[in-house]
Each structure stands twice: as structure tokens, then as C-alpha cells.
Amino acid sequence: MLCGDLAQLYGVETKVLNQAVKRNLELFPSHFRFESSLGCHGGRGYQPHVFTEQGVSMLAAVLKSDIAVQVNIQITEACVELRKYLCSHAAVFQRLQLAAKKQ
């Protein structure tokens, strides 16, 4: 998820979220957070950060608010449901991939 979207969910400014991350960089290795390579970044002078599921969980720890904890729970539950869905429909996705390769 993009840092701006997460900041909105957590009820903080993007600047506050990024500062919390900078103060705790050791908690955010490259597989928790990375810079987006998207060409469009809203006129900012930097690429937005993208957080993985693990990074989102770590954000709740560094932001230390009730909202952050609740949002973390909701995002984690959504990720679990997505994994379940993908696993239960793996055969369909494999057939779609095979069909796309044939075209």
C-alpha cells in the first residue's frame, strides 16, 4: 500500500507517517517498504513509499495509536482473505495465465 493511502487510513498526515518510519528505519527492511517506481507521484519531488503486509504491521507498532492498531487488524484480515481466495482459485488463475500465453 502507498504511504499516502496508509496515512489516510491511520488518520495521520503522510509527513507524520514518513517521519515515524525514518525514526525507526531498522524496523523497515527492503522487503517491508520500498520506493515506488510509478511514473506518476502527484507532483511530489520524491517517489512514494510502498509498504508490504509486514511493513503495514510494523507501522501500527511505530505509530502507537488505537486507530493504527484497528487499521492494522483490518488490513491483516483482508490480506489473509485475499490469500485464501487466491489459493482456492489457483487452478482458474493458472488456466488464465496459460490462455494469455497462447494469445
**Separation in Å, CA 44 to CA 6, 11, 54:** 17, 20, 25
Tell me the CA end-to-end span of the chain in Å, nearest whole number: 32
Per-residue pLDDT reduced to its tens digit, 33-84 = 998 876 545 555 678 899 998 898 888 889 888 888 888 888 889 889 998 9
Show me where the domains of the chain are located. Answer: 3-102
Q: What is the pLDDT of residue 31?
A: 93
State how far the Cα of 101 lies from the Cα of 58, in Å rounded to an integer: 38
pLDDT over 80 (residue 27): yes
Q: What is the pLDDT of residue 3?
A: 92
> Which grid coordinates belong to 84?
485464501
